[in-house]
Chain A
Amino acid sequence: MDDALSWGSIIARILQQFLPVWIALIVTFALSIKFKRNLGLYGKLFDSPVGMVGFLLVMFWVFTAIFADLIITMDPIAQFGRIKNPLPGTALIDVKDGQYGYFLLGGDHLARDVFSRVVMGARRVLTIAPAATTFAFMVGVTLGLPAGYFGGKLDTILSFFANLVLAFPVILLFYLLVTPEIRVTGIPIYLAAVLFIFPIIFFATLFNSRFFTNPPRRNLYVGVTIVIGLWAYSGLAFNADPLGVWSMDPNLLNVFVSVVFVNSPTVFRIVRGIVMDLKARDYVAAGQTRGEGAWYIMLWEILPNARGPLIVDFCLRIGYTTILLGTLGFFGLGVSPESPDWGSTIDDGRKLLSIYLHPAITPALALMSLVLGLNLLADGLREESMKD
């Protein structure tokens, strides 16, 4: 049996494990800085130290998620050894061939490797959070554009529902959506059915409003959107994909739907506000005077010019969603009991927090650094998009 590792060698080994991430980061930064003058807003990000730090943190976790299989030292779900809560650097007993010999950041109460769980957790978090945020944006944008553009009764009704959702306590809403009794009634499925249709509507209108002057091309784009959209829709919302490519775990679906449901009203309100401002511009009037349809004006004249604040909000919202997922996991409403997502891991570690700090603190730091990175990135983007 080997001796436990010192902190120095733990850090050295961790740094070594992240080697693919370092290489990817260096390549990304080198290329981006070299060509930053040709890259628009993204390029300008590299003029702002705050933005660069934020981007670095975010990309660290993105690459960690991508290369997670190369980085992990052990199976994140499997249990190793006989000791509970091994300390960081503890050597594994009975090392088999090809197995990594140490718990780099210790193990949890089931002797699962904390380091590997956190790395795998990044993959979990970084697939759900951006996807859920994207869906929330689709819903918010598709409803916010007409509310702001047409105003009147439509706006009053939509804003009322948005306020209704916002006024409801979020955690309570989650509990309700995830409790078995509610799930039996099928409410999450219905919600998913409603929310998941929005991306299809969004893209179909987007292409139709622009290409209706050219029917063959319009038919192609809208057709492809609808075929792929409905295919994915059947799989994701009803788990009824005939080909079995698209599917979503029922637990995941619940979490996903709740996050989208809670986020979309805020997006709706932001979009509505920007549209009300932009619709008074002359280029909108120019579109109207040449007989352009309302949806073309909304989606092609107004939306692209609202991108600045929306991109910033998107970054902040991914961070917010990440925390939300963490909170859900912490309350045991997570994706699945075994899942290595950060929220559940913190919850697992919480029980023995006064004795063993490491199983909870590592995922907590990971969560914090990702959200911090996203917030800094949003700050940097905001600052840079204001200039010139």
Chain B
Amino acid sequence: MTDTTWDPSQPILEITNLSISFFTRMREIPAVMDFSCAVMQGESMGLVGESGCGKSTVALAVMRDLGKNGKIVGGTIKFKGRDLTNMGEEELRHIRGSEIAMIYQEPMASLNPAMKIGAQLAEVPMIHQGMSKTEAWALARQIVADVRLPDPDRIINAFPHQLSGGQQQRIVIAMALMSKPALLILDEPTTALDVTVEAGIVDLVKELGRKYGTSMLFISHNLGLILDTCDRLCVMYSGEAVETGNVVQVFDKMRHPYTQALFRSIPLPGADKNSHPLVAIPGNFPLPHERPDGCNFGPRCDYFQDGLCNNTAGIAMSPVPGDDRHASRCAKWESVDWDAPIKIRAAKPKTPIGKVVLKMEDLKKYYSVSGGSFGGGTKKVVKANETLSFEAREGETLAIVGESGCGKSTFAKVLMGLETATSGTIMLFDENVQSTPIQQRNTDMVSSVQMVFQNPFDTLNPSMNVGRQIIRALEIFKFGKSDQDRTDRMLELLDLVKLPRAFADRMPRQLSGGQKQRVGIARAFAGGAKVVVADEPVSALDVSVQAAVTDLLMDIQRENKTTLLFISHDLSIVRYLSDRVMVMYLGHVVEMGTTDQVFQPPYHPYTEALLSAVPIADTRVIRKRIVLEGDIPSAMNPPPGCPFQTRCRWKSQVPNGLCDIEMPPMRTLAGGHQVKCHLSDEILASMEPVIKMAAE
């Protein structure tokens, strides 16, 4: 295995003109075309792009794990000078896991649930280096400590299900590092994790990369994350690399229209729904067998020029002189004025905020869970929501922010009437609905409170056509007198969400994620909803689609004066579209105020950490790095006193250990800004902003 011909000054991974196709019954589907990139020793390379652009296919090709249907149809992948594309199975097995390791998105799926952590880790050096069992276990223990897991002795004897998601992902990283690989491939390693946990993992990956000198191929759809972790990046669109170069150069001096459009469609600090709306990329991602001639991005590009951008010969990568290996696949990059300001769309008027439509007071929702498996045992109470009080006004967007398990979904269920509250009042249009389950609510009430769901692939019934699903909502809401009335209204609703009327006869599987989400929105507004709960409506969508769907929601809100309760964990989008923000942690509201109040100091310590954890794709932004230790405590067994005390970095500033003993009261600061914290006013006032724009 010692290949002496490789010279460390050469790239460790060099992909040249790689083309990959998948062969199905119907046709050959090209997944990646003419892809080239090089990763030097110790360098980390980011692969960015929307789903379906081929970034994961490239990673799998490096591992030579394309499955039965996938084939490399051209080009070479050289790892340390050796071509992987024509390597035999036996040789590949030596390389995989020992010289190239891969980390996948879903940590639980990467670990064997029936094996102890230590055994899974020790397996790697035992197979690849023939290490003895005791030595391998000792190494496993050391690496577990290296990935900064507490109490490594306990962890190596644990089974995967006994660890949290963040801990599992650390174990997967540890496993990848067991044989000190030269190249680490990370395929969306943090997408399944909460932001505060993600921040910890990102830090860890960066530090380990430095420590071991490992090269990395980091695949992500999140530009901010790439900026945080990588030295170089490669932007992919529809199977092709469209722009590659040094991260800072590409971010500040992009030379491909797609990269530019991508940056304009993500909510960066400074974007605002009224004065600086996001610019969505028009059109849809082309299907692999329907790609246009010439530039794949041509049909959606603002700079499209007939005859140049759609010539059948295709467009090659051309280097941007003066930069560090910066190249763009654009025929016009030299003639486009890249610094031209964005064509400002007419700023939209701010929606006037009206009277209070929804008021919650001291809402509590407890679940009782039986302890034993046969119904016996002690009953445990899960406090999903504790003393929730707030009001929402007509035409207002109230964002509810928090990580998984904070009780935001329970809150939505209670409001919708799918669950009834344990105590407290919910006043909806001056009517108390706290203990009225949905079956007993009248049609008006039901149709005026509707919900948009998170997962676009789940929100529509796969065996009913789109039109039928909207018409059903109209029938239930007793709209119209005849089928004709309802069909007309359904077509109007499709217009409202900017979908072609022909979609009425389509089945959900024929729609893209963004289109499905639009149908979900149309269905929610079928009965003229006054209050809409949007449960992470765009988090599962690609960035370019997110902007369009968010805009749509905002437009409909403006028109109907809808109150939007926007549940999200993504603070960038929250800052962009919300009027007021409510931050939740373990069932408690820890901070509430207008968007400016929440995003500026003084913060609640949890909000501070949350803000610092969100990666921002802007090189000018300077972020204070606050990484929370540990995981979110279980709602079944919350810590005494303040729920956040186990992870709070300000805890020592509170005298007498008050945080351990007493639940802090909700305090009202200037301008109605509410914070649930024991910290004194002086300390709160001394907090520094987490995000700062560097002076330009």
Q: Decide: B473 and A282 in contact? CB cutoff 8 A.
A: no
- What's the least CB distance linking A276 to chain B, in Å? 16
- Compute how far the CA of A300 lies from the CA of B476 in the bound complex, rounded to whole angstroms: 14
Of B74-82, B86-94, B343-351, B435-443, the stretch lying at the interface with chain A is: B435-443
Q: Is B520 an interface residue (CB 8 A)?
A: yes
Q: Is A155 an interface residue (CB 8 A)?
A: no
Q: Decide: B476 and A292 in contact? CB cutoff 8 A.
A: yes
Q: Decide: A290 and B473 in contact? CB cutoff 8 A.
A: yes
Q: Provide the residues of chain A in CB contact with B25, threshold 8 Å.
A: 47
Within 8 A of A (CB), among B463-516: 463-464, 473, 475-478
Q: Provide the residues of chain B in CB contact with A301, threshold 8 Å.
A: 461
Q: Is A307 an interface residue (CB 8 A)?
A: yes
- What's the least CB distance linking B608 to chain A, in Å? 33
Q: Provide the residues of chain A in CB contact with B477, threshold 8 Å.
A: 290
Given contacts A47-B25, A286-B453, whether A281 and B458 have CB atoms under 8 Å apart is: yes
Q: Decide: A288 and B438 in contact? CB cutoff 8 A.
A: yes
Q: Which of A291, A292, A304 contacts B441 (CB 8 A)?
A: A291
Q: Decide: B416 and A289 in contact? CB cutoff 8 A.
A: yes
- Residue tally, chain A, CB below 8 Å to B: 18
Given contacts A281-B458, A291-B438, A305-B463, whether A286 and B476 have CB atoms under 8 Å apart is: no
Within 8 A of B (CB), among A279-300: 281-283, 285-286, 288-292, 300
- Compute how far the CA of A286 lies from the CA of B473 in the bound complex, rounded to whole angstroms: 10
Within 8 A of A (CB), among B403-448: 416-418, 438-439, 441, 443, 446-447
Q: Provide the residues of chain B in CB contact with A354, threshold 8 Å.
A: none
Q: Is B523 an interface residue (CB 8 A)?
A: yes
Q: Decide: A291 and B453 in contact? CB cutoff 8 A.
A: no
Residue among A214, A281, A304 facing the most chain B CB atoms (10 A cut-off):
A281
Q: Which of A286, A288, A304 contacts B459 (CB 8 A)?
A: A286
Q: Provide the residues of chain B in CB contact with A304, threshold 8 Å.
A: 461, 463-464
Q: Taking CB as reference atom, which chain A residue is nearest B473?
A: A290
Q: Is A213 an interface residue (CB 8 A)?
A: yes
- What's the least CB distance linking B505 to chain A, in Å? 14
Q: Decide: A213 and B476 in contact? CB cutoff 8 A.
A: yes
Within 8 A of B (CB), among A14-63: 47
Q: Provide the residues of chain B in CB contact with A291, threshold 8 Å.
A: 438-439, 441, 443, 446, 476
- Compute how far the CA of A291 lies from the CA of B25 in the bound complex, rounded to whole angstroms: 43
Majority secondary structure of chain B interface residues (helix, strand, loop or mixed) = loop
- Compute how far the CA of A47 lies from the CA of B455 in the bound complex, rounded to whole angstroms: 32
Q: Taking CB as reference atom, which chain B residue is nearest A283?
A: B461
- Compute how far the CA of A65 lies from the CA of B662 in the bound complex, rounded to whole angstroms: 80
Given contacts A47-B25, A289-B438, A291-B443, whether A213 and B453 have CB atoms under 8 Å apart is: no
- What's the least CB distance linking A290 to chain B, in Å? 5
Q: Decide: B447 and A290 in contact? CB cutoff 8 A.
A: yes
- Compute how far the CA of A307 lies from the CA of B464 in the bound complex, rounded to whole angstroms: 13
- Compute how far the CA of A301 lies from the CA of B473 in the bound complex, rounded to whole angstroms: 13
Q: Decide: A282 and B459 in contact? CB cutoff 8 A.
A: yes
Q: Decide: A282 and B455 in contact? CB cutoff 8 A.
A: yes
Q: Provide the residues of chain B in CB contact with A292, threshold 8 Å.
A: 476
Q: Is B190 an interface residue (CB 8 A)?
A: no
Q: Taking CB as reference atom, which chain B residue is nearest A284?
A: B461
- What's the least CB distance linking B478 to chain A, in Å? 7
- What's the least CB distance linking B533 to chain A, in Å? 9
Q: Decide: A307 and B520 in contact? CB cutoff 8 A.
A: no
- What's the least CB distance linking B480 to chain A, in Å? 11
- Compute how far the CA of A301 lies from the CA of B523 in the bound complex, rounded to whole angstroms: 15
Q: Taking CB as reference atom, which chain B residue is nearest A280?
A: B458
Residue among A289, A292, A304 facing the most chain B CB atoms (10 A cut-off):
A289
Q: Is B451 an interface residue (CB 8 A)?
A: yes
- What's the least CB distance linking B582 to chain A, in Å? 21
Q: Is B462 an interface residue (CB 8 A)?
A: yes
Q: Is B460 an interface residue (CB 8 A)?
A: yes
Q: Decide: A305 and B462 in contact? CB cutoff 8 A.
A: yes
Q: Provide the residues of chain A in CB contact with B478, threshold 8 Å.
A: 213
Q: Taking CB as reference atom, which chain B residue is nearest A37?
A: B26
- What's the least CB distance linking B324 to chain A, in Å? 43
Q: Decide: B523 and A286 in contact? CB cutoff 8 A.
A: yes
Q: Decide: B464 and A290 in contact? CB cutoff 8 A.
A: no
Q: Is B454 an interface residue (CB 8 A)?
A: yes
Residue among A47, A282, A292 facing the most chain B CB atoms (10 A cut-off):
A282
Q: Provide the residues of chain A in CB contact with B462, threshold 8 Å.
A: 283, 305
Q: Taking CB as reference atom, which chain B residue is nearest A288?
A: B418
- Compute how far the CA of A269 lies from the CA of B42 in the bound complex, rounded to whole angstroms: 56
Within 8 A of A (CB), among B523-555: 523, 527
- What's the least CB distance linking A315 to chain B, in Å? 19
- What's the least CB distance linking A301 to chain B, in Å? 5
Q: Decide: B450 and A289 in contact? CB cutoff 8 A.
A: yes
Q: Taking CB as reference atom, which chain B residue is nearest A44?
A: B25
Q: What 0/1 readout, one digit per residue, does chain A (304-318) give for beta carbons within 8 Å of chain B? A: 110100000000000
- Compute how far the CA of A301 lies from the CA of B461 in the bound complex, rounded to whole angstroms: 6
- What's the least CB distance linking A186 to chain B, in Å? 40
Within 8 A of A (CB), among B19-52: 25
- Compute how far the CA of A214 lies from the CA of B483 in the bound complex, rounded to whole angstroms: 10
- Compute how far the CA of A286 lies from the CA of B524 in the bound complex, rounded to whole angstroms: 9
Q: Provide the residues of chain A in CB contact with B417, threshold 8 Å.
A: 289
- Compute how far the CA of A282 lies from the CA of B523 in the bound complex, rounded to whole angstroms: 13
- Compute how far the CA of A213 lies from the CA of B447 in the bound complex, rounded to whole angstroms: 15
- What's the least CB distance linking B467 to chain A, in Å? 15
- What's the least CB distance linking A231 to chain B, in Å? 30
Q: Taking CB as reference atom, which chain A residue is nearest B25?
A: A47
- What's the least CB distance linking A371 to chain B, in Å? 29
- Compute how far the CA of A300 lies from the CA of B462 in the bound complex, rounded to whole angstroms: 11
Q: Taking CB as reference atom, which chain B residue is nearest A293?
A: B439
- What's the least CB distance linking A353 to chain B, in Å? 47
- Compute how far the CA of A285 lies from the CA of B451 in the bound complex, rounded to whole angstroms: 9
Q: Taking CB as reference atom, which chain B residue is nearest A304?
A: B463
Given contacts A292-B476, A304-B461, whether A286 and B451 have CB atoms under 8 Å apart is: yes
Q: Provide the residues of chain B in CB contact with A282, threshold 8 Å.
A: 453-455, 458-459
- Compute how far the CA of A289 lies from the CA of B464 in the bound complex, rounded to whole angstroms: 18
Q: Which of A214, A290, A305 contacts B461 (CB 8 A)?
A: A305
- Compute how far the CA of A47 lies from the CA of B25 in the bound complex, rounded to whole angstroms: 9
- Compute how far the CA of A283 lies from the CA of B454 in the bound complex, rounded to whole angstroms: 11
Q: Provide the residues of chain A in CB contact with B523, threshold 8 Å.
A: 286, 290
Q: Provide the residues of chain A in CB contact with B438, threshold 8 Å.
A: 288-289, 291
- What's the least CB distance linking A122 to chain B, in Å? 34
- Compute how far the CA of A292 lies from the CA of B416 in the bound complex, rounded to whole angstroms: 13
- Compute how far the CA of A305 lies from the CA of B464 in the bound complex, rounded to whole angstroms: 9
- Compute how far the CA of A290 lies from the CA of B528 in the bound complex, rounded to whole angstroms: 12
- Compute how far the CA of A85 lies from the CA of B527 in the bound complex, rounded to whole angstroms: 76
- Compute how far the CA of A300 lies from the CA of B468 in the bound complex, rounded to whole angstroms: 12
Q: Taking CB as reference atom, which chain A residue is nearest B454?
A: A282
- Compute how far the CA of A283 lies from the CA of B441 in the bound complex, rounded to whole angstroms: 20
Q: Provide the residues of chain A in CB contact with B476, threshold 8 Å.
A: 213, 290-292
Q: Taking CB as reference atom, which chain B residue is nearest A307?
A: B463
Q: Which of B418, B441, B449, B527 contacts A285 (CB 8 A)?
A: B418
- What's the least CB distance linking A194 to chain B, in Å? 30
- What's the least CB distance linking B124 to chain A, in Å? 33
- What's the least CB distance linking A46 to chain B, in Å? 11
Q: Provide the residues of chain A in CB contact with B459, threshold 8 Å.
A: 282-283, 286
- Compute how far the CA of A281 lies from the CA of B463 in the bound complex, rounded to whole angstroms: 13
- Compute how far the CA of A214 lies from the CA of B450 in the bound complex, rounded to whole angstroms: 23
Within 8 A of A (CB), among B274-298: none
Q: Taking CB as reference atom, which chain B residue is nearest A297?
A: B461
- What's the least CB distance linking A70 to chain B, in Å? 38
Q: Provide the residues of chain B in CB contact with A288, threshold 8 Å.
A: 416, 418, 438
**8 new A-B contacts at CB < 8 Å, known A283-B460, A301-B461:** A213-B478, A282-B453, A288-B418, A288-B438, A289-B451, A291-B438, A304-B461, A304-B463
Task: Please name 8 pairs of A and B residues whose Cβ atoms are closer than 8 Å in the assembled complex, sorted by A.
Answer: A47-B25, A282-B453, A286-B459, A290-B523, A290-B527, A304-B463, A305-B461, A307-B463
Interface set of B (CB-CB < 8 Å, partner A): 25, 416-418, 438-439, 441, 443, 446-447, 449-451, 453-455, 458-464, 473, 475-478, 520, 523, 527
Which 4 pairs between the two chains have the least Cβ-Cβ distance? A304-B463, A282-B458, A282-B453, A291-B446
